[in-house]
Amino acid sequence: MKALVITDGALNLEERPTPEPAADQVVIEVAGAGVNRADLLQLKGGYAAPPGWPEDVPGLEFSGIVAARGPGCRWIGDGDHVFGIAGGGAHATHLLVPEGLCAPAPDGLDLVSAGGIPEVFVTAFDALVKQAHLKLGERVLIHGAGSGVGTAAVQIVRAVGATSVGTARTPAKLERARELGLDAGVTASDDMAAAIGEVDVVLDLVGGDYLSIDTAVCRPRGRILLVGLLAGAEARLDMGTVLRKRLTVIGTVLRSRPEHEKAAAVADFGRSVVPLLTDGKLRPVIERVVPLDRAEEAYGFVRSNSTFGKVVLSAQV
Amino acid sequence: MKALVITDGALNLEERPTPEPAADQVVIEVAGAGVNRADLLQLKGGYAAPPGWPEDVPGLEFSGIVAARGPGCRWIGDGDHVFGIAGGGAHATHLLVPEGLCAPAPDGLDLVSAGGIPEVFVTAFDALVKQAHLKLGERVLIHGAGSGVGTAAVQIVRAVGATSVGTARTPAKLERARELGLDAGVTASDDMAAAIGEVDVVLDLVGGDYLSIDTAVCRPRGRILLVGLLAGAEARLDMGTVLRKRLTVIGTVLRSRPEHEKAAAVADFGRSVVPLLTDGKLRPVIERVVPLDRAEEAYGFVRSNSTFGKVVLSAQV
């Protein structure tokens, strides 16, 4: 097998021994694997893989075909088309993962593009539905509506029967997000809070000083989900407003969760999100597909913040 | 009836017409009524009563005897001993409240002292059990363990089968909190986080820069309940830690809740807390009882921060 290996801050495609599955593990012949911001952080040396996963191969999600399986597998079969999440190692031609982190991939989806689905749809569904308990008729603010998680969130908000207002760097990104169902869009301005209006839930993929906007625009009992910190990891919190409005601020991240929690999130994804992908009510938003041997280019696209939706590595090199 | 009326920042005991109950309202002949920090804020003009409650009479909790009831009352009877919460007006000889904000007071409790029970036990139970979902075996940090809510929280933590570590201004307060079941105590020092150790839940009655201690000492998936802001209403939030540990920060306050939510909190209190008060597993911590015509003195005790537990006004003047 070939794997994208981080050596001294650089990416190199190297030959590695193809793993053998044990217990409940499967070996996936990777079709596609999304590039996430966590991969960029890991390349810079700032985001180590959790224990039990390849230390030097990035890649947190995958799609592909089951090539081998351990004796403890329960439902997965050789040749099955699956997609799912990993603690690392997905930027390769083959990947060893527990069966519990895989979900069956619908026939109607392009299998390579499907490698850009799991991380953002699991994250958005888990944050909005499982943690924020988003309800029909509520209004959601999405900071970073043109990002991978943002484009998944816009669609999930609509599927729940809620409405959305999104922020993005450029009007062009907001225009494309509107095509996915975003109800209102706001770019950075002097008085963003007034332009946004009142909301019940915030999905904050940006962090930094946006936190003060989040508390200002929330209605009583609002829920603020902190999912990304591109704009900074520290901010002033107006605790008076948090108390008076009885707000909840929740930090969430997928990668560092224990495996049984990841498996629970993937099971929820398989049960609640995949059927909507199958019948076209949700759709992957893929900016572009780049072959694994041009990974630097793909990482560069994500780093540029100019992409709309996902960049996916195609593993067939 | 007589009521403690705020006029130009001063308290005066004045004659007022005794109210008549309508619909599901009852008139309580007040026995005791705790003094809370919200009363001090209201006296300073900073904390207006919610709509529908007396604007100029403080007092958020009461005990007493049912003197009259409206035709829509369902379970309450004339002469019943009850205690409960109010949106204001309890610092008086008589109080008009909805039946739903009353709970039957156990026979074994001194009825005057019982006026210092509802606000702190409703707040601590609601925060720890209903919102933080405190579980057997978890460890709880209580900032302000010698305060009214703190002394209630220490006992509820023990009743749940969890353990507690508390902070307070003085070793003397911590020593008294230990008699209520506090497992460990820490006073202000250079490295409070190290002295506190790891916890699953924080009940923060202090606010201000303690927020940075809260995020530092929480284990993964920890819950931080912001209940009071004595030390300040703004602080820096380390969002990186909130994300990485997947923490939840919840602001909570009782007074501004809509009436149906207050009634739900009182019903929970009646069902879950009152039985433990009845059989002595929880007990009110009353620093002193002061007659209503010496209210300034009682407010001064609370303002001094030197009290342990509650100060209660006795209404029989």
CB contact under 8 A, B245 and A251: yes
Q: Is beta strand B10-15 parallel, antiparallel or unpaired with respect to B25-34?
A: unpaired
Predicted pLDDT of residue A227: 96
CB contact under 8 A, A251 and B256: no
Single-letter amino acid, residue A50: P
Q: What is the mean pLDDT of residues B253-275?
A: 95
Higher pLDDT, A197 or B190: A197
CB contact under 8 A, A234 and B236: yes
B102 sits in which H/E element: strand B102-104
Predicted pLDDT of residue B138: 98
CB contact set of B51 (below 8 Å; sequence gap of 6+)? none
Residue A308 three-state SS: coil
CB contact under 8 A, A237 and B211: yes
Mean pLDDT of chain A: 96
The Cα angle at residue A150 between residues A219 and A40, in degrees rounded to 5: 125
State pLDDT tens for residues A162-198: 999 999 999 999 999 999 999 999 998 879 999 999 9
Which residue numbers of A have CB closer than 8 Å to B's CBs? Answer: 207, 211, 226-227, 229, 232-253, 256-257
Q: What is the mean pLDDT of residues B308-317?
A: 90
Predicted pLDDT of residue A46: 84
CB contact under 8 A, A235 and B240: no
Mean pLDDT of chain B: 96
CB contact under 8 A, A243 and B253: yes
CB B136 within 8 A of CB B162: yes
CB-CB neighbors (< 8 A) of A250 in chain B: 246-249
Q: Would you give the end-to-end CA distance of chain B in angstroms?
A: 10
Q: What tokens were used for B63?
A: 């005990």
Distance from C-alpha of A70 to C-alpha of A96, rounded to nearest angstrom: 10
Q: What tokens were used for A75?
A: 């439902």
CB A199 within 8 A of CB A141: yes
State pLDDT tens for residues B65-79: 999 999 999 999 999
Distance from C-alpha of B204 to C-alpha of B91, rounded to nearest angstrom: 27
Q: What tokens were used for B314?
A: 């006795």
B289 vs chain A: nearest CA distance in angstroms? Answer: 30
Compare CB distances from A226 to B226, B242, B250 and report the shortest one's residue: B242
State pLDDT tens for residues B200-224: 999 999 999 999 999 999 999 999 9
Predicted pLDDT of residue A151: 98
Distances (CA, A) of A110 to A122, A292, B65, B234: 18, 17, 72, 49
State pLDDT tens for residues B39-55: 999 999 988 889 999 99
CB contact under 8 A, A248 and B248: yes
In degrees to the nearest 10, what's the CA dihedral of B106, B109, B113, B116?
-40
pLDDT above 90 covers a percentage of chain B that reads 93
Q: Which of A236, A239, A261 to mutate to test the interface with B (most CBs of B within 10 A)?
A: A239
Distance from C-alpha of B193 to C-alpha of A225, rounded to nearest angstrom: 26
A290 sits in which H/E element: strand A286-291
Q: What is the mean pLDDT of residues B274-283?
A: 96
Compare CB distances from A239 to B241, B248, B251 and report the shortest one's residue: B251
Residue of B nearest to A227 (CA): B243
Residue B140 three-state SS: strand
Nearest to B62 by CA among B315, B316, B309: B315
CB A226 within 8 A of CB A201: no
User: What radius of gyration, in Å, describes the C-alpha atoms of chain B?
Assistant: 19
Kindly give the interhelix angle for A148-160 and A171-180, rounded to the nearest 10 degrees: 40
Predicted pLDDT of residue A317: 54
State pLDDT tens for residues A124-143: 999 999 999 999 999 999 99
Predicted pLDDT of residue A240: 96
Predicted pLDDT of residue B317: 54
Pairs of residues, one from chain A and one from chain B, whose beta carbons lie less than 8 Å apart: 100
Distance from C-alpha of B183 to C-alpha of B239, rounded to nearest angstrom: 30
Which residue numbers of B have CB closer than 8 Å to A's CBs? Answer: 207, 211, 226-227, 229, 232-253, 256-257
pLDDT above 90 covers a percentage of chain A that reads 93
Q: What is the mean pLDDT of residues B236-249?
A: 97
In degrees to the nearest 10, what's the CA dihedral of B151, B154, B157, B161?
-130
Predicted pLDDT of residue B310: 97
CB-CB neighbors (< 8 A) of B244 in chain A: 251, 253, 256
State pLDDT tens for residues A151-162: 999 999 999 999
pLDDT exceeds cutoff 60 at B140:
yes
Q: Where in chain A do CATH 3.90.180.10 domains reside? A: 2-116+284-314
pLDDT exceeds cutoff 80 at B185:
yes
Q: Is the dihedral of CA B11, B13, B19, B24 positive or negative?
A: positive
Predicted pLDDT of residue B256: 85
Nearest to A71 by CA among A125, A29, A23: A23
The CATH superfamily holding the domain A120-251 is: NAD(P)-binding Rossmann-like Domain (3.40.50.720)
Q: What is the mean pLDDT of residues B265-291?
A: 97
State pLDDT tens for residues A248-303: 999 999 988 999 999 999 999 999 999 999 999 999 999 999 999 999 999 999 99
Distance from C-alpha of A264 to C-alpha of B311, rounded to nearest angstrom: 49
Distance from C-alpha of B138 to C-alpha of B134, rounded to nearest angstrom: 7
CB-CB neighbors (< 8 A) of A252 in chain B: 243, 246
Predicted pLDDT of residue A190: 78
CATH number of A2-116+284-314: 3.90.180.10
pLDDT exceeds cutoff 70 at B286:
yes
CB-CB neighbors (< 8 A) of A248 in chain B: 248-251
CB contact under 8 A, B251 and A242: yes
Residue of A nearest to B215 (CA): A251
Nearest to B87 by CA among B65, B130, B54: B54
Q: Which fold has domain B2-117+278-314?
A: Quinone Oxidoreductase; Chain A, domain 1 (3.90.180)
Nearest to A12 by CA among A296, A312, A298: A296
Predicted pLDDT of residue B255: 86
The Cα angle at residue B302 between residues B297 and B308, in degrees rounded to 5: 120
Instruction: Name the residue with tokens 């709970």.
Output: B103
Predicted pLDDT of residue A256: 85
Nearest to B202 by CA among B248, B242, B243: B248
CB contact under 8 A, B250 and A251: no
ipTM of the complex: 0.93
Q: Where in chain A do CATH 3.40.50.720 domains reside? A: 120-251
Predicted pLDDT of residue B154: 98
Distance from C-alpha of A300 to C-alpha of A296, rounded to nearest angstrom: 6
Distance from C-alpha of A141 to C-alpha of A204, rounded to nearest angstrom: 8
A108 vs chain B: nearest CA distance in angstroms? Answer: 35
CB contact under 8 A, A249 and B245: no
**E strands present in B169-210:** 184-187, 199-204
State pLDDT tens for residues A42-84: 999 988 889 999 999 999 999 999 999 999 999 999 999 999 9
Predicted pLDDT of residue B293: 95
**E strands present in B191-297:** 199-204, 218-226, 234-238, 248-251, 286-291
Predicted pLDDT of residue B48: 85
CB-CB neighbors (< 8 A) of B257 in chain A: 246
